[in-house]
Chains A and B, each alone.
Chain A
Amino acid sequence: AQRVTQPEKLLSVFKGAPVELKCNYSYSGSPELFWYVQYSRQRLQLLLRHISRESIKGFTADLNKGETSFHLKKPFAQEEDSAMYYCALRGNAGNNRKLIWGLGTSLAVNP
């Protein structure tokens, strides 16, 4: 079954501390993995995707196929990083382009 698991509903860190938002997935093939972010009172937006292998706003995420994980990391959290973060998966089978979503992790960065 296709599934995305974000084990932490809420993560609270202090400014300047490292942060890691966990994401594990279940998929039989080679999926595409994404992190989306939703800041307060804003629309959902793409943060990064595993294919791009880029760092956005200091965040990185490495796809670990052995552990079926796609954890989101940032070495030094900032207050403006406080938001809801969603991990999502898209399969590569057929024409089904829908995303499978995790339940989200609310990140609170405290001053």
Chain B
Amino acid sequence: GAVVSQHPSWVICKSGTSVKIECRSLDFQATTMFWYRQFPKQSLMLMATSNEGSKATYEQGVEKDKFLINHASLTLSTLTVTSAHPEDSSFYICSASRGAGGQETQYFGPGTRLLVL
């Protein structure tokens, strides 16, 4: 159990277009999901915390108007990169929280590779 999927797994788009990435918890409900960027051979950078039914909490330096997050249900969060530019090219990873207290665990999706031309 505890499987998280992401779609698409990779996407190539033209500069100026918008791209939507979906993150789904397949076999559990996730009140909280997280969106990360990962640069080659580097650590994860948390972009935002996505809470079902409320506005996302963005980390400092992350443009909320650029990276739109919607968490419409307990199993789906979406990240939309608006007006994408080449510097937005990256590996985007989502995770979903399951459990509570000391047993709370983040389960990760496989990631989405975005290339903006």
Asked if B27 lies at the interface with its beta carbon under 8 angstroms from chain A, I say no
Docked-complex contact A43 and B46, CB < 8 angstroms: no
A55-93 vs B: 1/0 string, CB under 8 Å?
000000000000000000000000000000010001000
Cα separation A44 to B105 with both chains bound (whole Å): 12
Please, how many residues of chain A have a CB less than 8 angstroms from a CB on the other chain?
A: 18
One of A44, A51, A104 near B108 (C-beta < 8 A): A44
**Interface membership of A99, Cβ < 8 A:** yes
Kindly state whether residue B15 has any CB partner on chain A within 8 Å: no
Contact of B43 with A97 in the complex, beta carbons under 8 Å: no
Please, how many angstroms separate the alpha-carbon atoms of A51 and B108 in the complex? 20
A51 B43 Cβ-Cβ under 8 A: no
Interface residues of B, dominant DSSP: strand
In the complex, per-residue mask of B94-105: 1 if CB is within 8 Å of any chain A CB, else 0 = 010100001011
User: Is A101 touching B44 in the complex (CB atoms < 8 A)?
Assistant: yes
Cβ–Cβ < 8 Å partners of A44 in chain B: 44, 93, 95, 108
B71 to chain A, nearest CB (A): 14
Q: List 6 A-B contacts (CB under 8 A).
A: A43-B110, A43-B111, A49-B105, A99-B106, A101-B43, A103-B43
Residues of A within 8 A of B (CB): 32, 43-46, 49, 51, 86, 90, 96-99, 101-104, 106
Given contacts A44-B95, A46-B106, A101-B46, 19 further A-B contacts (CB under 8 A): A32-B102, A43-B108, A43-B111, A44-B44, A45-B107, A46-B107, A49-B102, A49-B105, A86-B43, A90-B104, A97-B32, A97-B49, A98-B34, A98-B46, A98-B49, A101-B44, A102-B43, A103-B43, A106-B41
Chain B residues at the A interface, C-beta cutoff of 8 Å:
32, 34, 41-44, 46, 49, 93, 95, 97, 102, 104-111
